[in-house]
Amino acid sequence: MPNISRYVDISEVDKEAKKDYIDRHSPFITCASSAKAGEKFAVNVRMGNEYSHPDDTDHYIKSIQLFNGTTLLAEANFVAGALGGTGAKGQAEVTFNVVPSGSKMRLTALSYCTKHGLWECDPVEVSVTE
Amino acid sequence: MPNISRYVDISEVDKEAKKDYIDRHSPFITCASSAKAGEKFAVNVRMGNEYSHPDDTDHYIKSIQLFNGTTLLAEANFVAGALGGTGAKGQAEVTFNVVPSGSKMRLTALSYCTKHGLWECDPVEVSVTE
Amino acid sequence: MPNISRYVDISEVDKEAKKDYIDRHSPFITCASSAKAGEKFAVNVRMGNEYSHPDDTDHYIKSIQLFNGTTLLAEANFVAGALGGTGAKGQAEVTFNVVPSGSKMRLTALSYCTKHGLWECDPVEVSVTE
Amino acid sequence: MPNISRYVDISEVDKEAKKDYIDRHSPFITCASSAKAGEKFAVNVRMGNEYSHPDDTDHYIKSIQLFNGTTLLAEANFVAGALGGTGAKGQAEVTFNVVPSGSKMRLTALSYCTKHGLWECDPVEVSVTE
């Protein structure tokens, strides 16, 4: 089963290696807390907050998917080497632009590491105003 | 959170509509129970066993991913209309070919419906012989 | 053959409908003209410069791929509805971040419209400094 | 510009290395020459007819797309390692299933090698009968 790992607050994690492991595999969503219906709204997703992930050919971040609730909004696919290549580390990052409708969005990101599988972040709520 | 629905045995489900709902959204893996290391091995994944899914532009099966444990092996993306289009129903289906290594595979499929989100099937174990 | 349409300067096109058709289907790359080797470099790709594209379920921009020469760097996939849905128009847009190496990049974007196929823009040259 | 290489008949190519290079990068479509409207129709695409392609982490076949004319029907994405991994060679292969409408299909496959870019095969015509 493609188990999905979830972010846990690394300030409550003791071991440095585990902090690094969790942080670099977790997608972090940055966006405004409210959006206007019908207008373009930028959503940035970056892998890792304090740590960086390898960009090796056999170990890299392959994709980031952005969901609103259970609905896929957009997806970015990366190739090994685009963040510096073997030996380098980086934070895969993409900015999507969506036009919201409804009264709120509940955004989550789901990422895939070629060695450590699927990871998701906590949902980010965005209110949508007319 | 992009919740993942899992297949449940529809013979234990009472309502016809619910049987249909579960079955048509579930990926079914068909493959041999053992594979030879280093040789190509066919894995068929089909959406629905007894039921079919709409192929409407706003409601269709968008993707099927094949995992071995937590590792993505291959992925197929479909477009609306390739199974007959609006008003038609069909079973999205793909046959992947993988070359196994190790002593066994634990295959799962993860599919995405544009209206009803992510679904996965129970893992299928395949022994790998030299 | 999946024919690829190329952008032509719409100021040299007479008919308004044709200007609109070409512009809304063409990816436009916006980025700095020089980048630092080993540092993250933002590349924005937006569909349409002066015009917008429908976001109908049977007619929308499905993907944008970013190439450096013949090498794929990253790819974004969109779903119908994320730019306002049926009846709305919008400009699909994504910002990728890549870490350049070598002495220059030659960036091109290749997009896909579900009704009007593949489109590409003219290459954008970026010098890479140490 | 993401240049697209096209298959050329390797029986007319002199050098063995060039035969190998062209053949292993070219998608080959295998399907029946006629299909029934409204019924599922299998289309197999395999990379290479007589030769095989590396499956190294920095050099592998990443995707196969199936077009009908200019319309994308389906797409398969592969990961390095699924055909035996570093040092091994294989022929990436997928069988799609589409339900045709209209009176004919004109199928082409477009593949992507992470080192040698985009490749396409000659169109295969399929008549569609009621």
User: In the prediction, which pLDDT does D4 show?
Assistant: 87
C126–chain D Cβ distance below 8 A for any pair:
no
pLDDT tens-digit readout, D7-28:
889 999 999 999 999 999 999 9
- pLDDT tens readout for residues A50-98: 999 999 999 999 999 999 999 999 999 999 999 999 999 999 999 999 9
Question: What amino acid is encoded at A73 in this protein?
Answer: L
- Among A3-7, B24-28, B113-117, C65-69, the minimum mean pLDDT is found in A3-7
Residue indicated by tokens 């590491």: A113
Residues paired with residue D14 on neighbouring β-strands, in sequence order: none
* Beta strand B104-113 pairing with B124-129: antiparallel
- Would you say D87 and B103 are in contact if contact means Cβ atoms under 8 Å apart? no
Say what percent of chain C tops pLDDT 70: 98
Per-residue model confidence as pLDDT tens digits over B65-103: 999 999 999 999 999 999 999 999 999 999 999 999 889
Question: Which residue in C has a C-alpha nearest to residue B57's C-alpha?
Answer: C57
Where does the pLDDT of residue B4 fall: very low under 50, low under 70, confident under 90, or very high at 90 and above?
confident
The residue of chain A with its CA nearest to that of C37 is A84
Q: Cβ contact (<8 Å) for C101 and A85?
A: yes
Query: What does pLDDT average to over chain D?
Result: 94
Is D57 within 8 Å of A62 when comparing Cβ atoms? no
Q: How far is B5 from chain D (nearest CA, A)?
A: 23
Amino acid code (one letter) for C127: S
The upper half-sphere exposure of residue A99, i.e. CA atoms within 13 Å in the direction of its Cβ, equals: 19
Q: How far is CA D14 from CA B61, C103, D17, in A?
A: 46, 35, 9
Q: How confident is the model at residue D1 (pLDDT cuts 50, 70, 90)?
A: low
Per-residue DSSP letter, D103: S
C123's tokens: 């290459």
pLDDT tens across C5-62, in order? 988 899 999 999 999 999 999 999 999 999 999 999 999 999 999 999 999 999 999 9
Tell me what pLDDT residue C89 has. Answer: 94
CA distance D58 to chain A (A): 6
Quote the pTM value. 0.94
Which whole number is the average pLDDT over B107-115?
Answer: 96
- pLDDT at position B1, please? 52
Which residue is associated with the tokens 């297949």?
B7
ipTM at complex level: 0.92
Interface test with B, best of C55, C56, C57 (most B CBs within 10 A): C57
**CB distance from D116 to chain C under 8 Å?**
yes
Q: What is the pLDDT at residue C2?
A: 66
CA distances from D46 to B96, D31, D109, D127 (A): 11, 11, 10, 21
DSSP-assigned letters across all residues of chain C: ---EEE---GGG---HHHHHHHHHHSEEEE--SEEETTS-EEEEEEE-SS--EE-BTTB-EEEEEEEETTEEEEEEEE-TTTTS-TT-EE--EEEEEE---SSEEEEEEEEEETTTEEEEPPPEEEEEE-
| pLDDT for D35 beyond 80 | yes
Put simply, whether D97 touches B (Cβ < 8 Å) is yes
**CA proximity to A78, closest of C13, C98, D109, D129:** C98
First to last CA, chain A: 42
Provide the percentage of residues in chain A whose pLDDT is more than 90: 90
Residue B21, Cβ density class (10 Å: 0-12 exposed, 13-18 middle, ≥19 buried) = middle
Cβ atoms within 10 Å, residue D26: 23
Please state the length of chain C.
130
Chain A within 8 Å of C38 (Cβ-Cβ)? yes
Domain ranges of chain C: 4-120
Cβ-proximal residues to C117 (8 Å cutoff; 6+ apart), any chain:
C2, C3, C4, C5, D70, D71
**By C-alpha distance, which of B73, C1, B63, A27 is closest to D55?**
B73
Select the residue from A55, A58, A116 to test the D interface by mutation, using most D Cβ atoms within 10 A: A58
Q: Which CATH number fits domain D4-120: 2.40.37.10, 3.40.640.10, 3.30.70.60, 2.60.40.730?
A: 2.60.40.730
Q: Smallest Cβ distance to C70: which of D3, D62, D108?
A: D3
pLDDT at residue number C4: 87
Residue carrying structure tokens 């008003």: B87
Closest residue of D to C110, CA-based?
D2
Chain C residue numbers touching D120 (CB-CB < 8 A): 1-2
Contact A66, A74 (CB under 8 A): yes
Per DSSP, B80 falls in state T
pLDDT digits (tens, 9 = 90+) for A25-37: 999 999 999 999 9
From D34, D36, D38, D8, select the one nearest D23 (Cα to Cα).
D8
Q: What is the pLDDT confidence band of residue A10, given thresholds at 50, 70 and 90?
A: very high
Q: From chain B, pick out residues whose CB is under 8 angstroms from the CB of A120.
A: 1-2
Q: Does the CB of A98 have a partner CB in chain C at under 8 Å?
A: yes
CA distances from B50 to A18, A42, B19, B85, D96 (A): 45, 42, 9, 20, 20
Residue percentage of chain B with pLDDT more than 70: 98
The alpha carbon of residue D20 and the mean position of all alpha carbons in its chain are separated, in whole angstroms, by 15
Instruction: Note the pLDDT tens digit of each residue in D108-126.
Output: 999 999 999 999 999 999 9
* D82: phi then psi, degrees, rounded to nearest 5: -80, -5
Please tell me the distance from the alpha carbon of residue B113 to that of residue D31, in angstroms, as a whole number. 27
pLDDT of residue C1: 53
Listed residue (D98, D101, D60, D89) closest to D77, CA to CA: D60
- Say if residues C41 and C97 touch (Cβ distance below 8 Å): yes
Answer yes or no: do D70 and C2 touch at CB < 8 A: yes
Count of all residues that appear for chain B in the document:
130
Neighbour subunits, D (≥3 Cβ pairs < 8 A): A, B, C
Quick one: what percent of chain A has pLDDT higher than 70?
98
In order, the DSSP letters of chain A are ---EEE---GGG---HHHHHHHHHHSEEEE--SEEETTS-EEEEEEE-SS--EE-BTTB-EEEEEEEETTEEEEEEEE-TTTTS-TT-EE--EEEEEE---SSEEEEEEEEEETTTEEEEPPPEEEEEE-
Half-sphere exposure of C110 (CA within 13 A, CB side): 21
pLDDT band at A2 (very low <50, low <70, confident <90, very high): low
